[in-house]
Amino acid sequence: MRSVRSDDGSTIVEFVFLGIVILVPLMYVVLLASDLQRNAFGVTEAARQAGRAYATADDEGSARRRADYAMGLARSPTRDCRPTARNCVLWLPAPTARGRR
């Protein structure tokens, strides 16, 4: 008499294996696209803020300083701004000439 080999449980193993093989690259692509989009939005917002700082300044010297300050804030590697963080960068308005805002 020949014994019949049972396939019980192999479907689950194949499903898990194929799920991992497909899911890992898919998650990598999604995370990569998310990172690229975040960086694109960051560059756009940094340019916008530097332009606003430059356009609202009283003279060219202070305009360049304000634009550089805005770009420095945008390029800051700090992402965690808890009240106890020592290296937290917060938006502070640049000093204005003659005390005006």
The predicted-structure confidence for 69-86, as pLDDT tens digits, reads as follows 888 877 776 555 555 555
pLDDT band, very low/low/confident/very high, at 100 (cuts 50, 70, 90): very low
Q: By the 8 A CB rule, do 87 and 59 touch?
A: no
Q: What is the pLDDT of residue 10?
A: 83
Q: What is the pLDDT of residue 34?
A: 93
Phi, psi of 2, deg, nearest 5 = -90, 140
Q: What is the pTM of this model?
A: 0.53
Q: What is the rounded average pLDDT for all residues in the chain?
A: 77
**Best CA proximity match to 51, nearest among 74, 20, 33:** 74
